Structure formats: structure tokens, C-alpha cells
Chains A and B, each alone.
Chain A
Amino acid sequence: EIVLTQSPATLSLSPGERATLSCRASQSVSTSLAWYQQKPGQSPRLLIYDASSRTTGIPARFSGSGSGTDFTLTISSLEPEDFAIYYCQQRLDWPITFGQGTRLEIE
């Protein structure tokens, strides 16, 4: 099983700041990685797939990068609605696995 480890567990920032979230895979997943956003009481929302492709309707301030075992989700300038939990997910191999999440909170 491919284990995804996200860091930090919690990130405290202010609106307007830049957020950098990390996801590390226990073995290479090439670029077969996605990022999701989940707000309290809501379903997850797909932001980024194939490591760097933005889903339709996702603002340009969200970007993904990386390949192999190290991936980054960057939010260039935080908006109030961006404070949420973010998960990475790999699809290269069964079982599909998710990271444990990074909570992005307002400082």
C-alpha cells in the first residue's frame, strides 16, 4: 500500500498570505496525485489532479506541483474561504489511498 504523509498537520496563516502544503508518498506515484479541499459539514472537492491540472472552476491561486514522491499544493494568496482541510490522494496503485490531511486555519 502506498502511504501518503501530509505536512504540516496544521498550518496557521492569515488571509493574503501564501500557503504551501506538502504530500510525500512512500513510493513513486509518478504524477498520479490529486488534491481535495473539505470544509466542515461538506463533501470533499477536487482541486488538482495529475499533480498539476486544475479542475474546471478552481481559482488560479491554487496550483499543484511535484512528481515521484514529493508534491506541493500552493495557494498563492489566501482568501477567507480557503481555510479548510486539504487531502492528497494517489491513484497509481490499488488500494487508492489518501493522506491524513492538513488543516489550514486562520491565524
Chain B
Amino acid sequence: EKQLLESGGGLVQPGESLRLSCVASGFTFSDCGVAWVRQAPGKGLEWVSTIGGSDSATSYADSVKGRFTISRDNSKNTLFLQMNSLRAEDTAIYYCAKVLNWRNYYDYWGRGTLVGVSS
């Protein structure tokens, strides 16, 4: 069974940093693109970043470019999101999601980890 499990969320103050992790199981992680998608409380879905499988090419939403860094460790089946200079508007549930066959649709999702940014 394909699974994704996020961790690392929490409550931080504006300007601080946080690192999210997502451990994958049940599929060949290194063959798959993976992404972070977030959802602010009571709001819709917002794509944050994607990283390719073998080539590890990255893409970012403009709202996080220059502040967030996506990376992966294929030896540990783990995806990361380093979040710096956090803002109140970054408050959201952050989901890790597996990309479907390089099509940039998301066929498996984790349960999410909550990030809160408040003074």
C-alpha cells in the first residue's frame, strides 16, 4: 500500500524557519516526482513545490520562491521542505503528494502536517 507520512509542523513566529519531512512507502520513491500542496484553514488547495524523481528538477510557487526549498533523500524515501522567513500567510496544512506518472497530478496524499505562523 502506497503511503506518505508528513512530520515537522508546529507553531512558529514570523521570520522563523521550519523543516517538514515526508516519508514514503509502498512504491519506488526514487522513480516518482513528489510535491507539497498546502491548504490554509477553511480555504482551498494551493500548490507549493514539486521535485522530480531521478533528475530532482524543482519548481516553486511564486508565493514561496526564495524562501522555501524542496529536496529529497532517495536512500531514505524522504521528501523535505525547508521553510525560511515564514509569514502569517504560510499558515496551513501542508500535504505531501505523489505525482502520477510524471503527469503532475497527485494520486497519493499524506494526512498533512499543520504549520502555524503567529506572533
Using a CB–CB cutoff of 8 Å, the interface residues on chain A facing chain B are: 34, 36, 38, 43-46, 49-50, 55, 87, 89, 91, 94-101
Using a CB–CB cutoff of 8 Å, the interface residues on chain B facing chain A are: 35, 37, 44-47, 50, 59, 61-62, 95, 100, 103-107, 109-112
Of A38, A49, A98, which one neighbours B103 at CB under 8 angstroms?
A49
Contacts of A49 in B (CB 8 A): 100, 103, 105, 107
B71 to chain A, nearest CB (A): 18
Of B59, B95, B111, which one neighbours A95 at CB under 8 angstroms?
B59
Scoring B37, B100, B104 by chain A CB atoms within 10 A of each residue's CB, the highest score goes to: B104
What are 14 A-B contacts defined by CB distance under 8 Å?
Answer: A43-B95, A44-B37, A44-B106, A46-B107, A49-B100, A49-B107, A87-B45, A89-B47, A91-B104, A91-B105, A95-B61, A98-B47, A100-B44, A101-B45
Scoring B44, B45, B110, B112 by chain A CB atoms within 10 A of each residue's CB, the highest score goes to: B45
Contacts of A99 in B (CB 8 A): 44
